[in-house]
Amino acid sequence: MDAFEELQHRIVACERCPELRAYCARIASEKKRAHRDDDYWGRPVPAFGDPAARALLVGLAPGAHGSNRTGRMFTGDASGVWLYRALHRAGYASQAEQRDRADGMRLRGALVSAALRCAPPGNAPTPSQLRNCFPYLQREIELLPELRVVVGLGAIGTRAAENALVAAGFAFARRHAFGHGAESVAHGARGSVVLLSSYHPSRQNTNTGVLTEPMLDAVFARARELSRGPSDP
């Protein structure tokens, strides 16, 4: 087992926030009527994608009946529908449709992670919960030697990504000013990484037009440009 795989096993077994473990287990037991026949994951959700990624996506947290049900980041809810369609259009995902861990989805050159690995009540993590989870994101960054761009999905995901980059040895000239499409460059011993922020593909944003598909496509087209390797077309 390599270091990246070992880290993901540690994440799944994490019990740093007993209240979140109890909440996720309760949701997995009670279930939602639409998913009453599903076998809920009900545990911390590991990162998903390419362990050799040049692009890292950092969201907020698993959804109670999305990733907490399926066990895969951004899978099983409306946010995932938007995200994976955009990743497919950008050439990162093998398919546009996502359903569960057995749907055949593969990512090339991208890794999807989050600021918090357990679904929080009301989708609102506390500062202490985010602090408890923070070392996992930092370590993922340290284990991505070819990392070139980090896409923060939403303000909390973006701030967690920025702080994790700094903890991993990168330095920004100034704090990243969150905004859709905003960019900041961080420099480290192994090169530069661009932090690129996006509005989160939540129902609240997509149903109101705050975030549109062309807006999300523009962010991932830019991420693709920034993360393109020497052998990429």
DSSP codes joined into one string, 69-136 = HHSSTT-SSHHHHHHHHHHHHTTSBS-S---STTS---BSSEEEEES-SSPPGGG---HHHHHHHHHH
Angle of helix 213-227 relative to helix 78-89, nearest 10 degrees, comes to 50
Looking at the 3D structure of the chain, how many domains does it have?
1
Helix (H) or strand (E) holding 48: strand 48-49
In a domain, 155, yes or no: yes
In a domain, 233, yes or no: no
In a domain, 232, yes or no: no
In a domain, 75, yes or no: yes
Q: Which residues constitute the domain of residue 45?
A: 3-227
Q: Is the pLDDT of residue 96 over 90?
A: yes
CATH (domain of 154): 3.40.470.10
What does residue 176 show for φ and ψ, rounded to 5 degrees? Answer: -70, 130
| Amino acid 228: pLDDT | 80
In tens, the pLDDT along 118-165 reads 999 999 999 999 999 999 999 999 999 999 999 999 999 999 999 999
| Averaged confidence pLDDT in the chain | 96
